[in-house]
């Protein structure tokens, strides 16, 4: 099978380069490179989930010869959720959906804390505070110029996301959270159960919002266990 991996805000496909070493050799990791970063830096980043999910659906067409599982962390979980819905509409619902470090999409958000509207310096400081980018980036104007457009687009995508009710997913759903995540609470992660028609698994792992980095071996063991059930 294939595991399609979607990045967090400001992240890239490079985050998943070593995941195959933790997973069964029967699982091919396909890391998605979104526009506006790394080798797609010349392309404009998209700041709305719908056109991005539509593009991903088109781009996945060569990969549909094997069963798919979808993993997304933070922003990637929102994009993944909408992608799974689109795949379901075509009759190709994935065999598993993994949502990591992200509140369930139906939950109301406090728009007063939106960061994408902040001036550049304040915006970057807020991203640094949540370990979204290294603090050293703020000291390099050239780096700021490179990362700022995609970062702001990513935060706009997340903070302006509008949930539309649909029936729950029939594929199994797993939701992961960090037990010291200041961005996403345990209850917000557990609320993903509303989007699972049948099997739902919920686990909290040690770490903050980026437990996906600091607790990687444990996270990937859980993913591998679920994929082995398929």
Q: Which residue among the candidates 74, 100, 153, 174 is catalytic per the annotation?
A: 74
Residue 196 DSSP code:
B
The phi-psi region of residue 27 (left if phi > 0; otherwise alpha if psi is between -120 and 50; otherwise beta) is beta
* CATH topology assigned to domain 2-111+165-229: Rossmann fold (3.40.50)
pLDDT at 126: 82
pLDDT at 230: 85
How do the domains of the chain map onto residue ranges? 2-111+165-229
- Enter the pTM of the model: 0.93
| Residue 223 and residue 98 in contact, taking contact as beta carbons nearer than 8 Å | yes
pLDDT at 143: 75
pLDDT at 132: 65
Please list the ranges in the chain whose pLDDT falls under 70. Answer: 110-112, 132-134, 137
pLDDT at 68: 96
Query: 148 is written with which tokens?
Result: 């700022």
Helix (H) or strand (E) holding 175: strand 173-178
pLDDT at 216: 95
pLDDT at 78: 97
Q: 110: how many CB neighbours lie within 10 A of its CB?
A: 7
> Catalytic residue at 185?
no
């Amino acid at each position: 099978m294939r595991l399609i991996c979607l990045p967090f805000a400001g992240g890239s496909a490079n985050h998943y380069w070593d995941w195959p070493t933790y997973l069964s050799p029967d699982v091919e990791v396909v890391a998605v490179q979104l526009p506006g970063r790394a080798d797609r830096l010349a392309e404009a980043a998209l700041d709305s989930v719908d056109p991005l999910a539509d593009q991903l659906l088109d781009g996945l067409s060569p990969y549909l010869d094997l069963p798919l599982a979808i993993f997304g962390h933070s922003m990637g979980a929102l994009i993944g959720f909408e992608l799974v819905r689109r795949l379901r509409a075509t009759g190709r619902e994935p065999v598993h959906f993994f949502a990591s470090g992200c509140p369930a999409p139906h939950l109301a958000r406090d728009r007063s804390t939106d960061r994408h509207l902040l001036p550049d310096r304040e915006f970057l400081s807020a991203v640094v505070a949540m370990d979204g980018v290294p603090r050293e980036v703020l000291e390099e104007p050239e780096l700021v110029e490179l990362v700022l457009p995609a970062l702001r687009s990513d935060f706009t995508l997340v903070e302006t996301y509008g949930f539309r009710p649909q029936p729950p997913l029939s594929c199994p759903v797993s939701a992961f959270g960090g037990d010291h995540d200041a961005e996403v609470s345990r209850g917000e992660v557990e609320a993903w159960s509303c989007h699972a028609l049948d099997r739902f698994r919920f686990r909290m792992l040690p770490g903050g919002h980026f437990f996906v980095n600091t607790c990687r071996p444990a996270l990937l063991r859980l993913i591998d266990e679920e994929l082995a059930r398929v």
